[in-house]
Chains A and B, each alone.
Chain A
Amino acid sequence: MTRLIVVRLFFGALTLWAVSLVVFAATQALPGDAAQLILGRDATPERLEALRNQLNLHEPVAVQYMQWLQGLVQGDLGTSFSNRMPVAEYLTDPVRSSLTLMGLSALVATPIALFLGAFSALRRDRAFDHTSSMGTLVVASIPEFVVGILLILMLGPGGLGLFPSVYAREGGPEQWILPVLTLALAVAPPIVRMMRATMIEVLESEYVQQARLKGMGERTVLWRHAAPNAIGPVAQVVALQLAWLAGGVVAIEFLFNFPGVGKVLMDAIENRDVPLIQAVVLLIAGIYILVNLIADVIGLAANPKVRVANR
């Protein structure tokens, strides 16, 4: 199993490297060069030339890439064009906020979704199952920013007035509720549906019937006999959904004016702040890969054949 994890780690690193290539190539394809972007249209040729020398823009593209990659590995993400701060330092706070937002959403969405899915499977073809099936379908078919807007209209100052609709630096913890709820609602439906389908399959299996015939209570049947066999397939979907969060926060942060990486990315694109864009895109890709890696490991660990065979 250790070997399998190492192999997957290696492929994760390989993917990340491929992403870095794409990101670098994309910034090369932008019109004008970095010096032009930094200094703007009115820059004199002398100043441009000086900056180009400073940024090593005369070197071949491959060398530039290697220098950039070297910096990345050492944790040096370059300097932001727009505010002249080191990107790593500039990103610290937004990354922390975004990760907290994503983490909270995942913590709220995953257990509830798993529970709803398992319970739907138990109540298969009864009222609860139909309701949850319809509900998840409706929520899943509405884009997440529309869900956010609807939540603001219902629960925000315009509606029941329970929670603030915009994030403010001096605000209390209640201002987290609407963004977390929106993201959780966006993430949950596929997990519910996958959990339901997997659990139904597992509950129909002979080993679950055998557990019932042994006189096990329904709770033991569900959690000891059925759930461990459902974890593997469901973990994959959970991972896909949580990885989606990394990109999904962009729109939601914009909607709630939440100071996270999503908002940073929007600003950076507006300012053509290339180092910042590169860093944020790499970060999102990194989270995506990491979450999927964790899901793979959970999937492997949940399968005793794999777990025991490679000891």
Chain B
Amino acid sequence: MSGNENTENVESTEHTGVEGAGGRSVRNGETVLVVDGLTVIGRPSDVEIISGVSITVKRGEILGLVGESGSGKTTLGLSLLAHCKRATEIVGGQVLVGDQDLAGLSERGVRQLRGRAVAYIPQSPASALNPALRLGVQLREALHDDSLSNGEVVERVREVLREVALPDDDAFLRRYPHQLSGGQQQRVAIAMAFVGRPDVIVLDEPTTGLDVTTQAHVLETIRSMTRDYGTAGVYISHDMAVVADLADDIAVMYRGEVVERGRAAEVLSAPQHSYTRQLLMAVPLLKTSGHEEAEPEEEPLLRVSGLTAGYGRTQVLEGIDVSVSRGECVALLGESGSGKTTLSRSVAGLHHQFTGEILFDGVPLAASSYRRTAEQRRRVQYVFQNPYEALNPRKRVRDQILGPYRHLVGRPADPDGVVAEALERAALSASYADRFPEQLSGGERQRVCIARAVATGPDLLVCDEITSALDVSVQAEIVKLLRGLQDQGMALLFVTHNIALVSNIAERVAVLNRGEIVEYGPVGQVMSSPQHEYTRALIADTPDFELSFPGAPERLGMDSGDRVVEG
């Protein structure tokens, strides 16, 4: 979307008219944010968190700021508002918005500019909206312009609410954040940022917690609002696919430095830095080609039939039929609230309130894991979504791995051997055995969780959104690891909301929507000719892009595992 920038902008301005843009003349294309040599250090260690970062953004355009967790992108985003987290400090460089340098202003001066010159849209509106204050209060105060009367402020709030497609009546303004859905909360956060007609807006992964459908709507809103308001957007994300969809410019951050920046089309088609290429190739692409299908077995390893589950009186799953053959990966695809985690927990024996049958290797499994035999429990293992919470922080890796082993298999003759083998299967060296979880990165933690699960030699591994808390590049490595395990004969029940990931790992997919399986079949078939409306919507809303730079693998029939660049 680089070429006809100006004509596009003129068009969008005409569409909405002057009032829609907040009654201000829009001068898209003019450079409004200039960051020059910005350096932020941590105290008291004096380590540079970001060093000498320079970026520029024009009105009406969006700069995608891409990097992994720990690359300093959030620190940079916050310092654009001259905000430093505890024990950090801006020690050099400029943040010019218009002609004012935020890095050099007093606290009072910065406060004046926040919300009007620069605004911020947080990652998780659920925790960034004040739970004790009504929406009206939070929206009104964001304007903090003393020259406006109360009536004018309310009128402006209503106007911006209409622009983000939210109700603007008094009843809505009187609501509290907990009375909204996740997508509505994010729209309120967007409205809150745009209410003061800022010149620059910083978006810190604003769609991370949202379903793809909601994400698509929110991104569309952000896109049109920045154009109409002539606001320069800085969109922080680790997800190259989203950025490719949205941004005009891309800046890639790595270890506190911008290693590459340029027009989005150029960065995507001809990445210069090896790290950019690595990031690009880590993105799981939506594949529509067929997969080699596993031979249908007489007796699948796991057969779930007529499963209906719920919590108390609320029914979550209805009439579920799924089966997993030996060495096969079946994906459960669904958005939050679709019941996919409840299903996987039922299979693992963690959720008891269900009716229906779960046959494992031809034998019915009891509802509760307490009533299953040790052997049954050994053969079904579970990997949890969040590796930051699934490991006991006070135990070393070797004890975490040996715990379930001792319980389910027995006292090992060679404990070190068991640990080393489990770690090796999770692609970690044996030296990790003596570490504590806090000494591991997110990806390493998840590998330890996998090592713990495979240590007992299970036949079925239930993976509950195991990559959703991880960076895209780490996700690619985990996917590769899982494929390796699968090649060794392990069956996988892979729970996810990421349709692109499904197309890269699974042989068959069950699409869950509101507790029912709406589509179930081989991945290639479901991806290339989705029968159900819901599946089609999911595919349409998933951000996707083509890799066209030299050396990039072909889009079709490609294996995500092969695309990972090591190092």
Give the CA-CA distance A216 to B137 in the complex, in Å: 12
Interface size on B, residues (CB 8 A): 30
- Whether A214 contacts B192 by the Cβ 8 Å rule is yes
Interface residues of A in 217-233 (CB under 8 A from B): 217, 220, 224-225, 228-229
Give the CA-CA distance A310 to B535 in the complex, in Å: 38
Name the residue on A nearest B120 (C-beta). Answer: A213
Does A28 count as interface, using CB distance less than 8 angstroms?
A: no
- Whether A213 contacts B144 by the Cβ 8 Å rule is no
Q: B167-186 vs A: 1/0 string, CB under 8 Å?
A: 00000000010110000000
- Whether A229 contacts B179 by the Cβ 8 Å rule is no
Out of B127, B128, B179, name the residue touching A308 (CB < 8 Å): B179
Does B340 count as interface, using CB distance less than 8 angstroms?
A: no
- Whether A207 contacts B141 by the Cβ 8 Å rule is no
Q: B96-118 vs A: 1/0 string, CB under 8 Å?
A: 00000000000000111111100
- Whether B141 contacts A216 by the Cβ 8 Å rule is yes
Known: A206-B122, A220-B141. A215 touches B112 (CB 8 A): yes
- Whether B81 contacts A213 by the Cβ 8 Å rule is yes
- Whether A207 contacts B127 by the Cβ 8 Å rule is yes
- Whether B133 contacts A308 by the Cβ 8 Å rule is no
- Whether A215 contacts B129 by the Cβ 8 Å rule is no
- Whether B111 contacts A302 by the Cβ 8 Å rule is no
Does B75 count as interface, using CB distance less than 8 angstroms?
A: no
- Whether A304 contacts B144 by the Cβ 8 Å rule is no
Give the CA-CA distance A208 to B192 in the complex, in Å: 14
Give the CA-CA distance A209 to B85 in the complex, in Å: 9
B498 CB, min distance to chain A CBs, angstroms? 25
Does A210 count as interface, using CB distance less than 8 angstroms?
A: yes
Give the CA-CA distance A126 to B141 in the complex, in Å: 30
Q: A139-155 vs B: 1/0 string, CB under 8 Å?
A: 00000000000000000
Task: List chain B residues, Cβ under 8 A from A208.
Answer: 130
Most chain B beta-carbon neighbours within 10 Å: one of A206, A216, A224, A302: A206
- Whether B141 contacts A210 by the Cβ 8 Å rule is no
Task: List chain B residues, Cβ under 8 A from A220.
Answer: 141
- Whether A229 contacts B141 by the Cβ 8 Å rule is no
- Whether A214 contacts B127 by the Cβ 8 Å rule is no
- Whether B112 contacts A305 by the Cβ 8 Å rule is no
- Whether B111 contacts A217 by the Cβ 8 Å rule is yes
Name the residue on A nearest B115 (C-beta). Answer: A215
- Whether A229 contacts B132 by the Cβ 8 Å rule is yes
Out of A206, A212, A302, name the residue touching B132 (CB < 8 Å): A302
A236 CB, min distance to chain B CBs, angstroms? 17
Name the residue on B nearest A210 (C-beta). Answer: B128
Does A211 count as interface, using CB distance less than 8 angstroms?
A: yes
- Whether B129 contacts A207 by the Cβ 8 Å rule is yes
Does A205 count as interface, using CB distance less than 8 angstroms?
A: yes
Out of B131, B142, B144, B176, name the residue touching A207 (CB < 8 Å): B131
Does B124 count as interface, using CB distance less than 8 angstroms?
A: yes
Task: List chain A residues, Cβ under 8 A from B78.
Answer: 213
Task: List chain A residues, Cβ under 8 A from B122.
Answer: 206, 209-210
- Whether B132 contacts A214 by the Cβ 8 Å rule is no
Give the CA-CA distance A98 to B284 in the complex, in Å: 73
Task: List chain B residues, Cβ under 8 A from A305.
Answer: 131, 176, 178
Out of A212, A217, A224, name the residue touching B133 (CB < 8 Å): A224
Q: B183-213 vs A: 1/0 string, CB under 8 Å?
A: 0000000001000000000000000000000
- Whether B131 contacts A213 by the Cβ 8 Å rule is no
Q: B146-181 vs A: 1/0 string, CB under 8 Å?
A: 000000000000000000000000000000101100
B126 CB, min distance to chain A CBs, angstroms? 9
Task: List chain B residues, Cβ under 8 A from A213.
Answer: 78, 81, 83, 114-115, 119-120
Q: A190-207 vs B: 1/0 string, CB under 8 Å?
A: 000000000000001111
B132 CB, min distance to chain A CBs, angstroms? 4
Most chain B beta-carbon neighbours within 10 Å: one of A204, A217, A304: A304
Give the CA-CA distance A220 to B144 in the complex, in Å: 11
Give the CA-CA distance A211 to B127 in the complex, in Å: 12
Q: A19-43 vs B: 1/0 string, CB under 8 Å?
A: 0000000000000000000000000
Q: How many A-B residue pairs have CB under 8 A?
A: 74
Known: A206-B124, A308-B179. A214 touches B131 (CB 8 A): no
Give the CA-CA distance A297 to B331 in the complex, in Å: 48
B346 CB, min distance to chain A CBs, angstroms? 29
Give the CA-CA distance A303 to B178 in the complex, in Å: 11
Give the CA-CA distance A302 to B111 in the complex, in Å: 29
Give the CA-CA distance A220 to B142 in the complex, in Å: 12
- Whether A216 contacts B144 by the Cβ 8 Å rule is yes
Q: A142-181 vs B: 1/0 string, CB under 8 Å?
A: 0000000000000000000000000000000000000000
Q: A277-311 vs B: 1/0 string, CB under 8 Å?
A: 00000000000000000000000001111001000
B33 CB, min distance to chain A CBs, angstroms? 16
Most chain A beta-carbon neighbours within 10 Å: one of B114, B130, B131, B141: B130
Known: A206-B124, A305-B178. A228 touches B132 (CB 8 A): yes
A175 CB, min distance to chain B CBs, angstroms? 42
Give the CA-CA distance A228 to B176 in the complex, in Å: 13
Task: List chain B residues, Cβ under 8 A from A204.
Answer: 86
- Whether A215 contacts B111 by the Cβ 8 Å rule is yes
Task: List chain B residues, Cβ under 8 A from A205.
Answer: 127
Task: List chain A residues, Cβ under 8 A from B137.
Answer: 224
Give the CA-CA distance A289 to B127 in the complex, in Å: 35
A199 CB, min distance to chain B CBs, angstroms? 14
B108 CB, min distance to chain A CBs, angstroms? 9
Known: A206-B124, A210-B122, A210-B128. A215 touches B192 (CB 8 A): no
A225 CB, min distance to chain B CBs, angstroms? 5
A298 CB, min distance to chain B CBs, angstroms? 13
Name the residue on B nearest A217 (C-beta). Answer: B111
Task: List chain A residues, Cβ under 8 A from B119.
Answer: 213-214
- Whether B128 contacts A207 by the Cβ 8 Å rule is yes
Give the CA-CA distance A211 to B144 in the complex, in Å: 12
Task: List chain A residues, Cβ under 8 A from B111.
Answer: 215-217
Name the residue on B nearest A211 (C-beta). Answer: B130
Most chain A beta-carbon neighbours within 10 Å: one of B124, B129, B132: B132
Task: List chain A residues, Cβ under 8 A from B176.
Answer: 304-305, 308
- Whether A206 contacts B127 by the Cβ 8 Å rule is yes
Known: A220-B141, A304-B178, A308-B179. A215 touches B128 (CB 8 A): no
Name the residue on A nearest B144 (C-beta). Answer: A215
Give the CA-CA distance A224 to B178 in the complex, in Å: 18
- Whether B116 contacts A215 by the Cβ 8 Å rule is yes
A306 CB, min distance to chain B CBs, angstroms? 10
Give the CA-CA distance A304 to B133 in the complex, in Å: 8
- Whether B115 contacts A214 by the Cβ 8 Å rule is yes
The 29 listed contacts between A and B (C-beta, < 8 Å) are A205-B127, A206-B124, A207-B129, A207-B130, A208-B130, A209-B128, A210-B120, A210-B128, A211-B130, A213-B83, A213-B114, A214-B114, A214-B115, A214-B120, A214-B141, A214-B142, A214-B144, A215-B115, A215-B116, A216-B111, A217-B111, A220-B141, A224-B137, A225-B133, A228-B130, A228-B132, A229-B131, A302-B132, A304-B176
User: 3 closest A-B pairs (Cβ-Cβ)?
Assistant: A215-B114, A228-B132, A215-B115
Q: What 9 new A-B contacts, CB under 8 Å, besides A207-B128, A211-B130?
A: A209-B128, A210-B129, A213-B81, A213-B83, A214-B141, A215-B144, A220-B141, A224-B137, A228-B133
Give the interface of A toward B (CB within 8 A): 204-217, 220, 224-225, 228-229, 302-305, 308
Give the interface of B toward A (CB within 8 A): 78, 81, 83, 86, 110-116, 119-120, 122, 124, 127-133, 137, 141-142, 144, 176, 178-179, 192
